[in-house]
Amino acid sequence: MTQEPDTYSALAEVGAPQEHRSFWDKLVLDLKKSPWSARFGMLVILAYAIVGIFAPALAPHGEAEVFAAPYAPWSSEFIFGTDQIGRDIFSRMIYGARNTVGIAVATTLLAFFIGGSLGLAAAIDRGWLDQLLSRSVDVLMAIPSLIFALVLLSIFGSTVTNLIMIIAVLDSTRVFRLTRAVALNVVVMDYVEAARLRGEGLGWIMRREILPNIMPPLIAEFGLRFCFVFLSIAALSFLGVGIQPPTADWGSMVRDNASLIQFAQYDLKAGLTPLLPAAAIALLTVAVNFVVDWFLHKTSGLRDE
Amino acid sequence: MSERTKKGDILLSIKGLKIQGFSDEKWHDIVKGVDLTLRAGEVLGLIGESGAGKSTLGLAAMGYTQPGCRITEGEIIFDGVDLAKLSDEGKRKFWGDRMTYVAQSAAASFNPAHRLIAQTTASTIRAGIKDRKSAYDDAKQLYRALNLPDPDHIGDRYPHQVSGGQLQRVMTAMAMSPRPDLLVFDEPTTALDVTTQVEVLASMRSIVEEFNTAAIYITHDLAVVAQMADTIKVLRHGYEVEEAPTRQMLSAPEQPYTKSLWSVRALEKSQQAVQASVLSLQGIDASYGVQKVLHNVNIEVPKGSTVAVVGESGSGKSTTARVITGLLPQTFGSVKFNGEDLPPALADRSKDQKRRIQMIYQMADTAMNPRQTVREIIGRPLEFYLGMRGEAKTKRIVELLEMIELDAVFMERLPGELSGGQKQRICIARALAAEPDFIICDEVTSALDQIVQEGILKLLLRLQNELGLTYLFITHDISTVNAIADQVVVMNQGEVVEQGLKTDVFQPPYPDYTALLLSSVPEMDPDWLTNLIQKRAETNV
């Protein structure tokens, strides 16, 4: 009946290795199978990155260069016209990509560093440190974050550093909760116990044993958190306490030109002008979410193909 | 027995069945053309290692395939109907009525929000076989027949209010409730302790005999199948190896593969002379919170020998290991290692003390970080304890891999790319890398197939001879004890019941608990269960 060898040997078991793929092979394979939405998202993010990095080379005019005509209409020289004091809106949008996105990335990274490391430490400790951190986070989360940020920014002043620090700390509470929750599932694994028995320090256990195993949810959260941070910065700028002039920033650009909307019935292009930076914000948010969705779907193990 | 079939009629016949499963973007063959015939009132045992396709075949006998699987060829004739060609709607008329299923994990199969009796009778009432009142009365009869305590009221409890063994019996009652023609048992006792297993097996067998139900009994445990089945079919890699009546199969297996399955249990270690203790536990008490789990535990582990700690789950075996490793500091007593006191808490022990005591875990899957390669897993203790780096480290890793009979190509593999036996070998190599004196093996073979178990046990014995290691071997399996131990410690409810040389402990007279434990271990004798029940009945009367 049998068509397989009948005797057991360790060699036979050894001789049937399973396929080993390198990280890059896997990445290429995954990219090939990615849905159109994820590809679109990645393309948009890439475009924003290029625009942000090469802003001085791409922008036709300077960031804060003032021209004679305020509220100039769309023309070949000023593609999207000029703003209330005569700065080129198109150039400011390009610089805005660098400032707004750059600050949002820095803030999100900082939020993840703070929230992630404290969350891991709390999950490993599970004692008084965990209690202390978790309760402090509960307190911070009980205060509406936009209002809290407004208050803090008015106290400490609206510098870029303050802005990054304050939003990072407020957003790190969410990262803390997520990291702690997913790390708790990993902390109970035998390999963490094995590392502890070996005598490894807290740092090693955090970085080498736990972190690599909770990366997927954290990366997904990074994408979402980035969108929220990005929107909070834009909202704060819109309210006037965010990024300060003359630095170009999409949030404050919406506010500065908001009054143009009422002229839409006479000149459609003028009415559209304040919506352009808003659209830039919306497009990036949607793009990031597309990529995150794909990534979450891929790592959650749900298969519907 | 139902009027629909008579004893001896062919109830189920499977011909040339092929089933494929989908994984890694491809369809793989799981069952590769198997024939099977089952007569009414007969019990067929399906055995094989994991991946042999036994569960898939058992489910296919009901016309069911798991999600991601498909039947590609062959027919499944049940009482004249080809289930392979029937729609789901058509098959549902048979399921829960003429054929039922008992799953491996009863705890995961019950709905925690409903009372047991409601779940026992649900399918019977739905199929319209009995009305609610008579189905409930019948369920109580079944509980009684299955020897459940308080059969009239146990059905009013919820699943979490009864023990694992009781739950498994309730599930059998559930399967019997519609009086099916065919019952499929899928490893129903694998998750149970040996002493509980005996009771569950006995009640399952008596109820199958009483109602003359045909059954397919799937297991990897030969001794268990020998008690249950009239005929045994051995499967491997989706093929049938051989099929024969139980007695014939046990006394004269024909195929070399079957013989090798049988030989595992014959492994036996010759006992070594007693040397000075390397580790001694003196009057250890330990507790989790307010619950005291160890009471005055004294264990001596002589150098270069293997001490097996046996007992059921909850007996305190693993807790003892946690005290030795320092994860759970004892509340009273002392742990002496090489003559000196070990600090109770892990944090107070020196790096060298930690290095000398290593641990190997039951589940190799969770004992290795899935994101680290074999090189990192084995290399870390080398670097951490012995300060090895670069070339010297790589060389040592290759040496260690050779010691555990694996090739250097495994170095860059992740744990997910290894088989179960290979994973456990890597865990052994990780423990060896620290150059320990003493290794705690916590049920290291119980998650493995018998043949792989044998390989691991032989490896451990060889390493002990070559390196002079001392093992503390925690297990619930007496045949493993025979294979590897010099001394035995029997534990029950946090206390040491008996300890001494293997030959002494396994010789009568025993304390009551040791006797119960030893007599509960299934033997490869088809009359074992019958004799045991008879003997226990006599002594109780």
- Cβ atoms of B424 and B361 within 8 Å: the answer is no
SS3 B25: coil
**DSSP secondary structure letters along B449-470:** -HHHHHHHHHHHHHHHHHH--E
Provide the pLDDT confidence category of residue B429 given band limits of 50, 70 and 90: very high
Mean pLDDT of A100-116: 92
Residues of chain B in contact with residue A213, where contact means CB-CB under 8 angstroms, are 369-371
pLDDT higher than 80, residue A284:
yes
pLDDT higher than 90, residue A199:
no
Mean pLDDT of A181-199: 90
The pTM for the full model equals: 0.76
> In the predicted model, what is the mean pLDDT of chain B?
85
Confidence (pLDDT) at A1: 39
Nearest beta carbon to residue A213 from set B367, B370, B418: B370
A66-75, A158-167, B123-132, B340-349: the lowest-pLDDT one:
A66-75
**DSSP secondary structure letters along B83-97:** GGGS-HHHHHTTBTT
Share of chain B above pLDDT 90, in %: 15
Distances (CA, A) of B303 to B38, B322, B486: 54, 20, 11
Nearest beta carbon to residue A7 from set B260, B354, B455: B260
A222-236, A260-274, B263-277: the lowest-pLDDT one:
B263-277
Q: Do the chains contact at B359 and A197, CB–CB below 8 Å? A: yes
Provide the pLDDT confidence category of residue B263 given band limits of 50, 70 and 90: low
- Cβ atoms of A241 and A151 within 8 Å: the answer is no
pLDDT tens-digit readout, B373-399: 899 999 999 999 998 888 899 999 999
Length of chain A counted residue by residue: 305
Distances (CA, A) of A277 to A45, A99, A268, B153: 16, 13, 16, 71
Instruction: Render the burial of A144-172: b for 16+ CB within 10 Å, e for the rest.
Output: ebeebbbebbeeeebeeeebbbbbbbbbb
pLDDT tens-digit readout, B60-108: 888 888 877 888 888 888 888 888 888 888 888 888 888 898 887 777 7
Secondary structure of chain B: what % helix, strand, coil (to 5)?
40, 25, 30
The gap from C-alpha B210 to its chain's centroid, in whole angstroms, comes to 28
Q: Do the chains contact at A17 and B409, CB–CB below 8 Å? A: yes
Q: Do the chains contact at A213 and B413, CB–CB below 8 Å? A: no
Residues of chain B in contact with residue A18, where contact means CB-CB under 8 angstroms, are 417-419
Residues of chain B in contact with residue A1, where contact means CB-CB under 8 angstroms, are 239-242
Confidence (pLDDT) at B430: 93
| Helices B164-176, B116-126: inter-axial angle, 10-degree rounding | 20
Q: Do the chains contact at A6 and B241, CB–CB below 8 Å? A: yes
B 292-331: CB under 8 A from A:
325-327
Confidence (pLDDT) at B267: 66
pLDDT higher than 90, residue B440:
yes
B262 touches chain A (CB under 8 A): no
B256 touches chain A (CB under 8 A): yes
Q: How far is A172 from chain B (nearest CA, A)?
A: 26
pLDDT tens-digit readout, B329-355: 888 889 998 888 889 888 889 989 999
In which residue are the tokens 């860059």 written?
Answer: B412
Mean pLDDT of B410-427: 85
Q: Which of A14, A21, A213 to mutate to test the interface with B (most CBs of B within 10 A)?
A: A14
Q: Do the chains contact at B327 and A193, CB–CB below 8 Å? A: yes
Q: How far is A213 from chain B (nearest CA, A)?
A: 7
Nearest beta carbon to residue A4 from set B237, B326, B412: B237
Distances (CA, A) of A188 to A240, B366, B385, B448: 47, 9, 24, 22
Q: How far is B433 from chain A (nearest CA, A)?
A: 11
B413 touches chain A (CB under 8 A): yes
Q: Do the chains contact at A197 and B418, CB–CB below 8 Å? A: no
* Higher local confidence (pLDDT), B179 or A21: B179
Radius of gyration of the CA atoms of chain B, in A: 25
Confidence (pLDDT) at B406: 87
Provide the pLDDT confidence category of residue A173 given band limits of 50, 70 and 90: very high
- Cβ atoms of B441 and B448 within 8 Å: the answer is no
Q: Do the chains contact at B421 and A13, CB–CB below 8 Å? A: yes
Provide the pLDDT confidence category of residue B6 given band limits of 50, 70 and 90: low
Alpha-carbon distance of A240 to A256, in angstroms, equals 10
A304 touches chain B (CB under 8 A): no
Distances (CA, A) of B167 to A198, B116, B181, B311: 40, 9, 22, 21
CA angle at B124 for the pair B169 and B56, rounded to the nearest 5°: 60
* Higher local confidence (pLDDT), B349 or A29: B349
| ipTM of this complex | 0.72
A9 touches chain B (CB under 8 A): no
Structure tokens at A8: 């057991």
B 216-255: CB under 8 A from A:
236-237, 239-242, 255
Confidence (pLDDT) at B519: 81
- Cβ atoms of B364 and A215 within 8 Å: the answer is no
Confidence (pLDDT) at A2: 38
Structure tokens at A133: 């951190």
Provide the pLDDT confidence category of residue A240 given band limits of 50, 70 and 90: confident
Provide the pLDDT confidence category of residue A305 given band limits of 50, 70 and 90: very low
Burial (CB count within 10 angstroms: exposed 0-12, middle 13-18, buried 19+), residue A205 = buried
pLDDT higher than 90, residue A60:
no
Share of chain B above pLDDT 70, in %: 95
Residues of chain B in contact with residue A14, where contact means CB-CB under 8 angstroms, are 405-407, 422
Structure tokens at B505: 């402990």
A191 touches chain B (CB under 8 A): yes
Provide the pLDDT confidence category of residue B270 given band limits of 50, 70 and 90: low
Provide the pLDDT confidence category of residue B25 given band limits of 50, 70 and 90: low
Q: Which of B353, B366, B462 to mutate to test the interface with A (most CBs of A within 10 A)?
A: B366
Provide the pLDDT confidence category of residue B405 given band limits of 50, 70 and 90: confident
Q: Do the chains contact at A190 and B363, CB–CB below 8 Å? A: yes
pLDDT higher than 50, residue B150:
yes
Alpha-carbon distance of B86 to B70, in angstroms, equals 13
Q: Do the chains contact at A190 and B367, CB–CB below 8 Å? A: yes
Q: How far is A182 from chain B (nearest CA, A)?
A: 15
